[in-house]
Structure 1
């Protein structure tokens, strides 16, 4: 395993729907952890007891830990009460799975963008904060172009408004160009979110003629060399997960990027993730040598 000051891992369905293949990939590349999104073509809310047992065995056999469950919490319409309740129940299930697997974080989002006030959205996280406090789990909120908190600045605003120790930030610099191609993911977005960053996803993005797209780590807009130098300086010791989000011979659809997971999403993922993890580790090694 690595000598990095943080824990480097991968989101498993960016490699394979077969958790054993994903775990073997992680071990092969000297990674320390896995993040669970879809497994065996089951979304986080659909993961079965059998899936959970397989995840636990695959992690144990390959000397890996489970960092988080990538739930789609609140990727729904704010005004759809039944959808909100379904997501809260799904979140409870993800928390249960997280605890069984030794994970400490479950991901969440900030409702499909529809002009709902900050106060209303923050109040909607009250039951999530209560669940997390009772179960000693952290909900990490990810900024995403499809939701209200589409940028690091907006996510920081929401987290400050919620103001709860079990609600923190997931920093994914590669998401930013999909919502704001003018603000540098590093250092600007990083500094906006830095006080609350608990977890990190890594993808790289380009923006040509106003159209963002994902590509190999190091070939896009994100200054990952600068980011990793700063993370080392800041003493970040948490998890950093590769979330490749492109394929070598298959183009992911807008809907797949909006709701990632499942067999079609994972098709062609392995070779893209392999070239990206090699590039990512080269960047990290260079940053830590400086």
Structure 2
């Protein structure tokens, strides 16, 4: 497994001085791979010019490699005017910027479900995702679907249905265990067995429901069975990325080192 971090999960600082602290703290934990997402409070690819220069320079200084980019594609309703903009403008811009730092993997979400079910919606989602995968593949990219509560990729079965329907070799899956637990409130094993053939990336977070709300916790303190997830991946010889989403809310300074120490104990 390639243990990978996300900048804003490592250190609770979004200032222009944050990246050296973030990269140094990750290096102290033996982590030199990052997924491109939030940098200095802006989401990829909408970084300002100075942030982009700092990111590339400091990544080179610390020996950081980027594994995937997540611009938040299609995080909107199926009838939203943003979806065509994402497909025709945000995606091409993201592909170009990601390629400039040797990234060839793009993460995508499914649109949000409508309040009332309408005929043909599933096929529209499939067509949208298929078009996005084709655009990415034409530029030498693979694409990964990330599950998210409230979206058309909320549960294990919903994710499986989309992966099967889109049916492209360039289309894989981000197994976000915390998000699945929030949507299904079931142990990871049933969903894992269904989705295992498609998993190319894992987002790891722990949490539990408190007064009906999902609350993110440090690894080992929640009920999503981080220990079992790591063991399952090890048993199956998983060799992809394992992205640490170790921050709680509010984000405390000790969240990342405490969770990484727990994770190391499982390896």
TM-score by length of 2: 0.89
Matches within 5 A, 1:206-225: 206-225=208-227
In structure 1, distance between residues paired with 2:100 and 2:206: 32
Runs of 4+ residues over 4 Å off in structure 1: none
- Offset of residue 107 of structure 1: 1.3
- Offset of residue 209 of structure 1: 4.7
3-state SS, counterpart of residue 78 of structure 1: coil
For residue 277 of structure 1, the aligned residue among 253, 256, 260 is 260
Instruction: Answer whether contact 2:160 2:194 (CA < 8 A) is retained.
Output: yes
Which residue in the other structure is 1:86 paired with? 85
- Offset of residue 245 of structure 1: 4.1
Which residue in the other structure is 1:184 paired with? 187
**Residues 160-198 of structure 1: per-residue CA shift (max 9 Å, x gap):** 1001112211001111222111x212x112112111111
In structure 1, distance between residues paired with 2:26 and 2:58: 11
TM-score by length of 1: 0.83
Which residue in the other structure is 1:163 paired with? 167
Aligned CA-pair RMSD? 1.8
3-state SS, counterpart of residue 169 of structure 2: coil
Instruction: Answer whether contact 2:206 2:225 (CA < 8 A) is retained.
Output: no
In structure 2, distance between residues paired with 1:51 and 1:83: 25
Which residue in the other structure is 1:264 paired with? none
Instruction: Answer whether contact 1:14 1:270 (CA < 8 A) is retained.
Output: no
3-state SS, counterpart of residue 100 of structure 2: helix
The unaligned stretches of length 5 or more in structure 1 are 1-5, 251-267, 286-290
- Offset of residue 148 of structure 1: 1.7
3-state SS, counterpart of residue 191 of structure 1: helix
For residue 11 of structure 1, the aligned residue among 6, 10, 27 is 6
Which residue in the other structure is 1:20 paired with? 20
Instruction: Answer whether contact 2:6 2:38 (CA < 8 A) is retained.
Output: no
